[in-house]
Amino acid sequence: MIDAHAHLDDPRFGADVNDVVARASAAGLTRILSCAQDVVSSERTIEIAKDHDIVRVAVGVHPHRAASWSDAVAERLRELARDERVVAIGEIGVDLSGRSAPQDAQVRALEGQLRLARELDLPAVVHVRDAGALAREVVDRAGPARGMIHCYSEGPDEVAEWLRRGFLLSFAGTATYPNNRAIREAAAAVPRDRLLVETDAPYLAPQAHRGARNEPAFVLSTLAVIAAARKESPEELGVAVARNAAHLFGRNWA
């Protein structure tokens, strides 16, 4: 099993990040994708990956930090992406929840990073919150893209829109919350070869660990709930998810 999205450089991990990664490995995880939020976060995450072979990295500017996007930032991400541990551009996207950067800054950063991902032949890790239609408009304008929609939060009716654009859909602990039936329905609607599972650690702990700091080992709780929604074996689905991640993230994922 793998964790398709976490933030190991987050201060909530701090001094015990080594223990967090060790627990993930002991739980059977073979890979963790740790996603950055800006240039400094990208640099820190690569340093963490240097100490842990299980970790791979996405470098990028999160929509919350989109106002920092510039040509200089793009060039620095281009340099960082040369590291063999970097397998994606992310976390990028659009967030219209009211907690993020101005919309025009988000759109500019997302479009620029989608183009960067295509230039570097890397998949994109895309954050979409309350912004599905706008995010798809930007994707369409930026040109052909591949990647994953992380922490999928739209209903089952939107699944086909992302699949048609070539994206995989990744589900986090929110899919386990009792009131989020629509997310479980969406997870059940995704073809097996287009599905990923993640934690978004240290955020969004699954129901079995609600209230605790989330960590990659907890991805197994989310996997179990999604497998039940799909009427599949968690073990077999975990193998399929790991295979999907390997296909998406390429040679340096292995």
Q: Is the pLDDT of residue 28 over 90?
A: yes
pLDDT tens-place string over residues 137-187: 999 999 888 999 999 999 899 999 999 999 999 999 999 999 999 999 999
Cα separation of 97 and 131, whole Å? 8
How is the chain split into domains, by residue range? 2-253
Q: What is the CA radius of gyration of the chain?
A: 16
Joined tokens for residue 125: 């890790």
Compute the distance between CA of residue 188 and CA of residue 100 in angstroms, rounded to an integer: 30
Higher confidence at residue 59 or residue 14? 59
The top-level CATH class assigned to 2-253 is: alpha beta
Does position 17 have pLDDT exceeding 90, yes or no? Answer: yes
Query: What mean pLDDT do residues 189-196 have?
Result: 98
Q: Check residue 14 and give its pLDDT.
A: 87
On whether the CB atoms of residues 205 and 212 are closer than 8 A, the answer is: yes
Cβ(6)–Cβ(198) under 8 Å? Answer: yes
CA proximity to 116, closest of 147, 152, 161, 95: 147
* Average pLDDT along the chain: 97
pLDDT at 147: 98
| Ramachandran sector of residue 184 (left: φ over 0; alpha: ψ -120 to 50; beta: rest) | alpha
SS3 readout for the chain: CEEEEECCCCCCCHHHHHHHHHHHHHCCCCEEEEECCCHHHHHHHHHHHHHCCCEEEEECCCHHHHHHCCHHHHHHHHHHCCCCCEEEEEEEEEECCCCCCCHHHHHHHHHHHHHHHHHHCCCEEEEEECCHHHHHHHHHHHCCCCEEEECCCCCHHHHHHHHHCCEEEEECHHHHCCCCHHHHHHHHHCCHHHEEECCCECCCCCHHHCCCCCCHHHHHHHHHHHHHHHCCCHHHHHHHHHHHHHHHHCHHHC
Residue 123 C-alpha from the chain's centroid:
11
pLDDT above 90 (res 42): yes
Q: What integer pLDDT is reported at residue 99 of this predicted model?
A: 85
pTM, full prediction? 0.97
For residues 234 and 224, the answer to whether their CB atoms sit within 8 Å is yes
